[in-house]
Amino acid sequence: MMPTSDNSTPIRILVVDDHTLFRRGLTALLGRDAGLSVAGDAADAGEALRKAKELQPDVILLDNHLPGVNGVDALPSLFEVAPNACILMLTVSEDENDLAAALHGGASGYLLKNMEGDDLTAAIHRGFHGDSIIAPEMMGKLISAYKTAALKPGPTTSTVSNTGSEKAINPVEQAMASLSPRELDILRGIARGASNKEIAREHGIVETTVKIHVQHILRKLGVSSRVHAAVIASEQGLL
């Protein structure tokens, strides 16, 4: 059993999905974990906003294909009424545009409905504790989306004079070069989707140390999320 925020209070969840049977089944599944509690459910974005404002859940499991307003389009309003909630998309959509829109909108994860129940409960715990979780099937599409964005016109490199000639400076390569061997090992773990606890166990260090290293890695890479760090790691051939 994974710990909750204070090892006693369950993580309160709002389930948003337009299929009644799926909501009921998901509620029953999550109820098997004593660290989780379904505080409420909603069938569309409007109801989700009302319930989120009333319940102030810790985690919102949000389907994308909702009647009226799609889940990704509802993200700004949900964060407005429940600013402290961790929102995890739980959907059948494997479209990379939906994935990119969800992450751009602030979702902490993008999960697919075909995942195993134990994996889902673990993902909720990880999301609540600050991890970014992407379904393994979507990682390739995520990397592709970031690469496409990187190819758009814009200042991506700078130049310096070197004995009369100009030499391009790649800021990403500079940032990667600034990482210590231990930070590179931890970045590889992040790119594999490993949690801080799993990385700590792999390298024989305490989880708090991993958290500190992760903070340093994000700062050096100039990114704000583990997902973006994982994309950079993949692009730089760390996997």
Give the domain CATH number at 183: 1.10.10.10
User: How far, in Å, are 188, 203, 213 from residue 207 at the CA level?
Assistant: 16, 10, 10
* Both structure tokens of 162: 């070197």
Does some domain include residue 3?
no
In this predicted structure, which of 4-8, 84-88, 171-175, 205-209 has the lowest mean pLDDT? 4-8
Number of domains in the chain: 2
CATH number of 86's domain: 3.40.50.2300
User: Which residue reads 């993008």 in tokens?
Assistant: 110
Q: What separation, in Å, do the N-terminal and C-terminal C-alpha atoms of the chain show? A: 29
User: Does residue 178 share a domain with residue 82?
Assistant: no
Residues 17 and 121 in one domain: yes
**24 and 135 share one domain:** yes
CA distance 162 to 155: 20
Which positions ≥6 away from 71 have C-beta within 8 Å? 16, 45, 62, 63, 64, 65, 89, 91, 102
Residue 4 lies in a domain: no
Query: Which is it for the CA torsion 46, 55, 117, 102, positive or negative?
Result: positive
Q: How many residues are there in the chain?
A: 239
Within this chain, do residues 68 and 125 fall inside the same structural domain, yes or no?
yes
Q: What is the CA radius of gyration of the chain?
A: 20
pLDDT in tens, 136-188: 788 777 766 665 555 444 444 444 444 444 445 567 788 888 889 999 999 99
Domain presence at residue 147: no
pLDDT at 146: 63
Same domain, 48 and 112: yes
Any domain includes 5:
no
Does 162 lie in the same domain as 135? Answer: no
Helix 181-192 crosses helix 196-203 at what angle (to 10 degrees)? 130
* pLDDT score at 22: 93
Does residue 2 form part of some domain? no
Structural domain boundaries, residue 218:
158-235
